[in-house]
């Protein structure tokens, strides 16, 4: 299977990517342990998911040791950009403004975070 430019990882795939992004390369055992903190998940379920993700080129695998080590094949940043872009198109008629408005209303955002966002906007406005 070949990596698709616009592939949207599933929920389960996103959970696994999140664990690997946050903790770095890991074994199935370790990923499965963390999956179980969110939701009961059998070991072979996690294994199978991760094997399929290698086929989809969402993960890389080092199988030089008996315990294979998995790592993300796609970056957190690119994935976020990709998924947000799709969401803006599908649910916000292409308007990033609408999504931002909704996000700021939907979730609590601390004063410090608000300041950070304003700073970014100012930089964009200044054409950086």
Partner DNA sequence: CAAAACCTACGAAACTTTTCGTGAATTAAT
Partner DNA sequence: ATTAATTCACGAAAAGTTTCGTAGGTTTTG
**Which of 78, 29, 85, 42 is closest to 57 using CA atoms?**
78
End-to-end CA distance of the chain: 39
Q: Report the residue number, 40 or 112, with the smaller CB distance to DNA.
A: 40
Q: Residue 86 interacts with DNA (CB under 7 A)?
A: no
Q: Residue 74 interacts with DNA (CB under 7 A)?
A: no
Q: Residue 92 interacts with its own copies (CB under 8 A)?
A: yes
Distance of closest approach, residue 48 Cβ to DNA, in angstroms: 4
| Residue 118 burial class via C-beta count within 10 angstroms: exposed 0-12, middle 13-18, buried 19 and up | exposed
Q: Of 3, 38, 48, 121, which one interacts with DNA (CB under 7 A)? A: 48
Q: Residue 75 interacts with its own copies (CB under 8 A)?
A: no
What tokens were used for 64? 């030089």
């Amino acid at each position: 299977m070949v990596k698709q430019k616009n592939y949207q990882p599933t929920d389960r795939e996103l959970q696994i990517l999140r664990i690997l992004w946050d903790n770095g390369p890991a074994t199935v055992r370790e990923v499965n342990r963390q999956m179980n903190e969110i939701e009961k998940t059998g070991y072979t379920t996690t294994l199978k998911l991760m094997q399929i993700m290698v086929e989809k080129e969402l993960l890389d695998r080092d199988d030089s040791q008996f315990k294979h080590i998995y790592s993300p094949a796609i970056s957190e940043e690119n994935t976020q950009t990709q998924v947000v872009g799709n969401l803006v198109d599908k649910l916000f008629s292409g308007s990033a403004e609408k999504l931002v408005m909704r996000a700021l209303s939907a979730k609590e955002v601390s004063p410090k975070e608000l300041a950070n966002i304003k700073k970014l906007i100012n930089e964009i406005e200044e054409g950086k």
